[in-house]
Amino acid sequence: MKLLNSFYAAVGIGVTILATTIGIANKTINPTPNVTPDLSYLIPQPDPVTSPDVTLPGTPVALKNTRLGTRQSPSQPQVPLLSNANAQWQLYDRPAEYPKSVTLPAQWITMRDGTRIATYVTLPADESGRPINAKFPVIVIQTAYSAGVAGKVSAIAGGADPEMVKRGYATVVADVRGTGNSTGKWEAFGKVEQQDAYEIIDWSSKQSFSDGNVGLYGVSYLGITAMLGAATQHPAIKAAFPIVPMGDAYRDILFNGGQLNTNFIPLWMSLITLLSTLPIDTLVQDPITGKLTALDKIINSTEFQIPLFANALKGKADAFDNDFWQERSLLEQANNIKVPTFIVGGTRDLFQRSEPLWHEALKGHTTVKTFIGPWAHIQAAQLFPSLPKGNVPRLDKIQLQWFDQYLKGINTGAETLPNVTQWVHGYEDYVVSTDWPHVALEPDRLFLNTRGNLAKDRPTSSSGENYLLQAPTFGLCSSTVEQVLIGATSILPFPCLENSNLANIPASVFNSVPLTEDYYLNGPIQADLWISSSSKDSGLVVRVSDVDPRTGNAKTLSTGIITASMRKVDESRSRYIKGQMIQPWHTFKASDIQPLDKNKPVLVNVEIPATAALIPKGHRIQISVVSSDVWKGVAPLPSLTSSLLGSISIYSNSQYPSSVVLPKVPTQYLKH
């Protein structure tokens, strides 16, 4: 491995020489215009509300501490959650109450507009497989993956968990509008689907098998619809247990950093379309209606899926943040969720950005517990079980404990579970805390310098400029592959899927000196880069890695991306911790586009999703900057064509001091 990394480094030197040659030639023809930079962001910002008159000598200054805002709400003061500080995980289980479960034939709920929603009811059963005639709490699941097809193959796609049913729970699985055996038009997570959720929950709570208490559950799309259902505030809902739920459709996945996901999204939409054209249960009951339903699904794909993706790629209205995306970003509705909610996320998940944000959004008005594991998307469903570990149980046992407490009224101790549980890479174990972001987080700004180092001190040299080639195809093999392909590549024995070494060949790389003590980072990360380009636009990808001196492996911890022309930040919605902005809120609005002037330096803030890692003593912290990651995103065509074959300069000098703000937490807080 060390030899291979040396080869990568040698190739990287060659690429750097080429990029530098092109960059110098570009600057010779078009010199860098002198710009007076605004460096006020380097000074910790006072709290504008609580700070006294800072002009008085010796007056203490309260620093700005805010949560991340939303489209509808500016940042609010951060109120740390300090309760439950001594919480520990506990194993919970109880024996099955019934020997079997049985799924009834498909039935349909008629919505307010006549649309028919297919549902599948699973009930506890006796030894003969006959349903038990009793009332049970109901777990409601809403899927887009066809409960009558994929749901019969795997419960994570939309099927009942037989172990929960045997423990006295009924389950209702519904195909959301326009998918599976349901009629209507699919418009993922839109207002109509949100209104349907209320009616599905209402129907489920009033059936003869229901005791009137409803819990919401699901993985991925099903986890998102669980949150969507919780936001309806139907009185029957008592708790929710979403696994890897999205929070912001635009920022999490579709247009991460303003760049279109051209890998996962087309495959995902195609899968839903394919499964929807197989309405098996409808075909069995009424072949003619079944064929017409399948035809409607095909037509629907030409009215929603295909136009949405095509127009986004062309850079039309939905390539920017607008009402369409706000409607589908459920963090905007977090204040409507009032029931106890258990959030499960993953450090390599598609929705890595939003999962801890759910904790922050809910903690002020309901009971919330957050569990972040070391997994990608499908691994969160425990297809490749990594639990139990120590005293942390399997997710299905946690789900049982959660629903037993809030749906059955059993005192399981669910409310005393740790508030936040996170897998810490490098520590290789789960760590509990009272809140997210961590209450002891200290923003730690490290500067990029001309020698390729990361340092605490701001550069003093007037020179310092690294050159990057602009191309949209870098990052073919990187840690992003596993994240975007939902963990499907985790079994492949390719080191480049976990380490940054190969992906760093076209990058500018900056390393800290070997650490003299362990470094614990936990939270969101922000890179503040001074750049210029010979083109009107450019992409920027920033990776944070842990470099092992024994092998030279640079293990990727988190990756951020931004389109330079979409760099506009709304400071009133950004996160500040102890006066430092550490999570920018980019507006991504069409009206805020800022094309680059040739070779003119500008400040670009890059949001890097939160992670948790212990970088051991002797290792190095690495920041690498490259112009693209083809798996992370591709700029819409107008931006892409204006950035091809350009040259990017990354400045690291006294006038334009590029830096990164890391979320440092004292290692004393590493506790199980």
Residue 381 has a CB neighbour count (10 Å cut-off) of: 24
CA distance 354 to 61: 31
Residues 127-169 have pLDDT tens digits of: 999 999 999 999 999 999 999 888 888 888 899 999 999 999 9
> Does 284 reside within a domain?
no
371 is a domain residue: yes
Q: Are strands 210-219 and 170-175 parallel, antiparallel or unpaired?
A: unpaired
* pLDDT band for position 643 (cuts 50, 70, 90): confident
Higher pLDDT, 282 or 52: 282
Band (457; pLDDT cuts 50, 70, 90): very high
CATH of the domain at 341: 3.40.50.1820
Q: Are strands 116-125 and 100-103 parallel, antiparallel or unpaired?
A: antiparallel
Residue 271, in any domain of the structure: no
Q: What is the pTM of this model?
A: 0.94
Residue 510 lies in a domain: yes
Same domain, 153 and 204: yes
Are 453 and 564 members of one domain?
yes
Q: Determine, yes or no, domain membership for 187.
A: yes
At 581-617, the pLDDT tens digits run 999 999 999 999 999 999 999 999 999 999 999 999 9
CA–CA–CA angle 396, 399, 401 (5° rounding): 115
Same domain, 383 and 494: no
Q: What is the pLDDT of residues 342-382, one digit of tens each?
A: 999 999 999 999 999 999 999 999 999 999 999 999 888 76
Identify the top-confidence range among 239-243, 257-261, 392-396.
239-243
Q: Is residue 133 part of a domain?
A: yes
Q: Which domain holds residue 575?
A: 2-20+65-79+438-669
CATH for 660: 2.60.120.260
Q: Indicate if the pLDDT at residue 52 is higher than 70.
A: no
Domain annotation covers residue 413:
yes
Confidence grade of residue 286 (pLDDT, cut at 50, 70, 90): confident
**How many structural domains are present in the chain?**
2
Residue with tokens 């794909």: 301
Together in a domain, 399 and 368: yes
Instruction: For residues 341 and 474, state if they share a domain.
Output: no
Same domain for 396 and 459?
no
Q: How many CB atoms lie within 10 A of CB 594?
A: 13
Q: Are 451 and 388 part of one and the same domain?
A: no
pLDDT of residue 157: 86
Q: Which range (253-267, 324-338, 400-414) has the least confidence?
A: 253-267
CB neighbour list of residue 111: distance below 8 Å, 6 or more residues apart: 117, 177, 184, 196, 199
Q: How many Cβ atoms are within 10 Å of 221's Cβ, its own excluded?
A: 23
Q: Are 153 and 270 in contact (CB under 8 A)?
A: no
Output 16-22 pairs: Cβ under 8 A, ≥24 positions apart: 16/467, 16/508, 18/469, 19/467, 19/468, 19/469, 19/506, 19/647, 20/467, 22/467, 22/469, 22/647
Q: Is 83 exposed, middle or buried (0-12, 13-18, 19+ CB in 10 A)?
A: exposed
Residues 382 and 467 in one domain: no
264 within some domain:
no
Residues 618 and 472 in one domain: yes
Do 396 and 448 reside in the same domain of the chain?
no
Same domain, 74 and 106: no
Strands 210-219, 237-243: parallel, antiparallel or unpaired by DSSP? parallel
Do 507 and 402 sit in the same domain of this protein?
no
